[in-house]
Each structure stands twice: as structure tokens, then as C-alpha cells.
């Protein structure tokens, strides 16, 4: 059938919504009826059955798919990694909800997967739909969707080239006295923060990381091993996740990261930004990437990001 005939034609599950917004950028170069909905701003209501919808779906929304027994015509999963283990009984239950994005697809539907993710290679065996593998970067997922929607490759590539990025997703805020400030407040898991550190790998050893907060029953061991490779200093908000990060760092040898000299505790965003500024020297990066939730100190991750932006812009 025609992919565009379903009001839920594209549903996209992405840990960081850069991929979904790249798809959104492509559709903005077309005149078709497209809508984008998800966890990144105000959502529009659907107008008719012919509307193509690009949706970011949380595990909570996907949980409800078991009742309606329906999955989208095109589903995209960029990665599958632990999250929300403070709410789910175990990782198996969490992944089970995630799999609802393709569970009710049929042989005429499409499942677009990142071939570099070992967890996705495992769950692909359960799919009844046509699997399209792509290599790594989010733009390749967006191009795969564009191809299925018969959007010319030149249009898709032009849209991706002009894509400016998203608020709170490794967002460059300003440069001041040779120091660059980045807001990555929507990184609420250790894996998301690791991804951001690797994205800034050319600044290895020059990153001042503002992180921590409340734990979601996640494992911080891998993040703790990556921090010494990329960061010259670590500023932590108070919370259970921060305690776990410190605990894991203390297991490392002092040659990797002298925790007593490198870590500061902060009880407010204002103090965190001011502390980072004092530590920073020319050509350094100050990165807010919390790897945890924010409810003990902020309304949500967006409030956390807005506070960071506000205090960074006030710096003299």
C-alpha cells in the first residue's frame, strides 16, 4: 500500500532526537502534509488521514501500543540502551516496550535499524517487516526514510546540510574569552553523555564537564572510565547519580584521574557555571551533559538547560 495513507506513517524512536529533526528538516523541503510530534516542543494535531507524521516515541507511549495492536508503517530505531530502570522492573521489560514500535508491523512495513548497535542486531530477528540497515550516523537514518518516501536524494542531502541542530542537544551557546559553552541537557543517561564526549573528541583533555543529578538505576562504570580520557575537570550536581559517578571514579587509578583535584560539587546551576569559568583556560570546552535526571534541582531537563543558557549568557 501507499506509505503516506496512514496518519501514523513514520514513528521514530531515537535516544537523542537529532535524527528525527533531520527527517523533519528533509520534509520541510517538500510541500506534502507532514507533521512532527514528540518530546521537543509544541505538537500539532493531525488534520486528516493522508497526513504523514514523524513522531518521537518514548517507552511510555510505546507501552500503550500493546492495547491498540498497531505499529507504524516505517519505524526507525537508532540505538537501544538502558534507561528508566528506576521505573521498569528490569531491562527486559524496558526493551519489551521499545519493541512495540515494530511488534505489530507486517511484511509490507519497514524497520530501519542502526547496524552498529549490537542490541538492534539481536531484536531484528523478531521483526516480521522489511528491515533496512544503515551505517551509524543519524543522517543516514533520515536518508533511508526519505528514500522510502520517494524524496529525491539531492533534496534529502540539501536538507541535512542546512540542518542547524536542536536546543539542548549538544547545542553551542557562546564563545567567551576563548572558551566554548555547550548545552547537552537532554543527555539523561550515561551512554548519551559518552556519545557527546566522543562527538567533541578533538577537544580531548580540554573539556570541563558539568554533570550528575538523580539516578535512574543505571550503570555509571563506563562513563567513569571515559571521563578521564576527555575531561580536565568534572563539576557534579548533588544527587544519587553523582554519588555513583564518584564511586566509580574512585575505583580508577590516580594516574587516570585525580578525583580529589578534579571534582567539584555544586548545589545550583549558577555556581556550576561560575566554577567552570574559573577552571577554564583558552581553547577549553565547558559542556553541560548531566547523564541523569534533574528533578531534585530543576523542574525538568529543559529548565536545567534554560538555566545553563541564562547564566552562560550573563558571564562577563
Number of other residues whose CB lies within 10 A of the CB of residue 252: 15
The stretch 79-92 carries a mean pLDDT of 87
How far apart CA 21 and CA 107 sit, in angstroms, is: 27
The stretch 242-266 carries a mean pLDDT of 79
The pTM of this model reads 0.73
**H or E segment and range at residue 207:** strand 207-211
pLDDT in tens, 22-51: 455 555 555 455 666 665 444 445 455 556
pLDDT in tens, 124-145: 999 999 999 999 777 888 889 8
Which residue has cell 581553547? 283
Determine the pLDDT at residue 66: 87
Cβ–Cβ < 8 Å for 80, 117: yes
Burial class (CB in 10 A: 0-12, 13-18, 19+), 30: middle
For residue 9, what pLDDT band results from cuts at 50, 70 and 90?
Answer: very low
The stretch 189-196 carries a mean pLDDT of 94
Exposure string for 59-82, b = 16+ CB within 10 A, e = fewer = bebbbebeeeeebbbbbbbbbbbb
CATH of domain 171-314: 3.90.190.20
Region(s) of the chain under CATH 3.40.1190.10 = 3-161
The stretch 109-113 carries a mean pLDDT of 94
Out of 3.40.50.620, 3.30.70.890, 3.40.1190.10, 3.30.230.10, which CATH number does the structure's domain 3-161 have?
A: 3.40.1190.10
DSSP string, 95-147: HHHHTHHHHT--TTSEEEEETT-HHHHHHGGG--SEEEEE-SSHHHHHHHHHH
Residue 149, pLDDT > 80, answer yes
For residue 209, what pLDDT band results from cuts at 50, 70 and 90?
Answer: very high
Region(s) of the chain under CATH 3.90.190.20 = 171-314
Cα–Cα nearest to 75, from 53, 60, 94: 53
The stretch 271-289 carries a mean pLDDT of 97
pLDDT in tens, 288-311: 999 999 888 999 999 999 999 999
Q: Measure CA of the first residue to CA of the last residue in the chain; give whole Å.
A: 59
Average model confidence (pLDDT) across the chain: 84
Determine the pLDDT at residue 59: 86
Amino acid at each position: 500500500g501507499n506509505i503516506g495513507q496512514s496518519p501514523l506513517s513514520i514513528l521514530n524512536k531515537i535516544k537523542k532526537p537529532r535524527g528525527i529533526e533531520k527527517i523533519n528538516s528533509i520534509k520541510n523541503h517538500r510541500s506534502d502534509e507532514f507533521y512532527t510530534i514528540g518530546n521537543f516542543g509544541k505538537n500539532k494535531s493531525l488534520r486528516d488521514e493522508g497526513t504523514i507524521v514523524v513522531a518521537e516515541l518514548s517507552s511510555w507511549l510505546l507501552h500503550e501500543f500493546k492495547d491498540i495492536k498497531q505499529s507504524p508503517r516505517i519505524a526507525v530505531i537508532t540505538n537501544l540502551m538502558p534507561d528508566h530502570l528506576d521505573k521498569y522492573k528490569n531491562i527486559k521489560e524496558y526493551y519489551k516496550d521499545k519493541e512495540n514500535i515494530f511488534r505489530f508491523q507486517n511484511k509490507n512495513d519497514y524497520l530501519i535499524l542502526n547496524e552498529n548497535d549490537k542490541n538492534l542486531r539481536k531484536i531484528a530477528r523478531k521483526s516480521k517487516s522489511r528491515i533496512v540497515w544503515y551505517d551509524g550516523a543519524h543522517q543516514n537514518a533520515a536518508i533511508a526514510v526519505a528514500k522510502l518516501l520517494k524524496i529525491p536524494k539531492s533534496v534529502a542531502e540539501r536538507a541535512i546540510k542546512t540542518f542547524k541542530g536542536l536546543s539542548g542537544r549538544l547545542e553551542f551557546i557562546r564563545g567567551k574569552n576563548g572558551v566554548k559553552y555547550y548545552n547537552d541537557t537532554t543527555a539523561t543517561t550515561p551512554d548519551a553523555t559518552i556519545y557527546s564526549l566522543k562527538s567533541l573528541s578533538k577537544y580531548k583533555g580540554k573539556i570541563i564537564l558539568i554533570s550528575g543529578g538523580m539516578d535512574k538505576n543505571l550503570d555509571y562504570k563506563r562513563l567513569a572510565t571515559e571521563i578521564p580520557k576527555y575531561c580536565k575537570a568534572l563539576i557534579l550536581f548533588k544527587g544519587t547519580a553523582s554519588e555513583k559517578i564518584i564511586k566509580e571514579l574512585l575505583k580508577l587509578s590516580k594516574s587516570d584521574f585525580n578525583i580529589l583535584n578534579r571534582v567539584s560539587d555544586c548545589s545550583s546551576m549558577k555556581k556550576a557555571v561560575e566554577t567552570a569559568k574559573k577552571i577554564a583556560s583558552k581553547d577549553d570546552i565547558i559542556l553541560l551533559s548531566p547523564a541523569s535526571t534533574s528533578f531534585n534541582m530543576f523542574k525538568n531537563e529543559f529548565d536545567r538547560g534554560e538555566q545553563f543558557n541564562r547564566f552562560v549568557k550573563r558571564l562577563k
